[in-house]
Amino acid sequence: MLYFLSRLILLLIAISAIKSVVNFGRRLWYGVQPGRPVVRASREAQSPSTVLQMDPVCGTYVSVETSLKRIVAGKVYHFCSPECRNRFSA
């Protein structure tokens, strides 16, 4: 009986390890594909009424309501941080 339980526990550990390796591989693969931006939105930004705009400097998506804005030649640009806003040149 003890032999059976030890084999069952080893099998469960092996399955868990394989799942972890597969998930790590997926994250690694999708994280390095060119042309596929990684977008991490906060819970606030996930609501359907929130409009997101891309920061032209770093490429992150920011909420229009909470972003830092700069108007250049009549066009509004949205920034995620003061550093991106200061680095921007239109």
Instruction: For residue range 35-46, list pLDDT tens digits in order.
Output: 555 555 555 555
Cα-flanking dihedrals φ and ψ of residue 13, to 5°?
-65, -40
Confidence of residue 14 (pLDDT cuts 50, 70, 90): very high
Average the pLDDT over each of 47-51, 73-77, 85-89 and give the range with the smallest value: 47-51
Tell me, what amino acid is at 36? R
Considering the entire predicted model, what is its pTM? 0.45
Identify whether the C-beta of residue 64 lies closer than 8 Å to the C-beta of residue 51.
yes
Look over the chain and give the mean of its residue pLDDT values, rounded to a whole number: 82
> In the chain, which residue ranges form alpha helices assigned H by DSSP?
2-32, 82-87
Higher pLDDT, 68 or 27: 68
- Res. 13 pLDDT band, cuts 50 70 90: very high
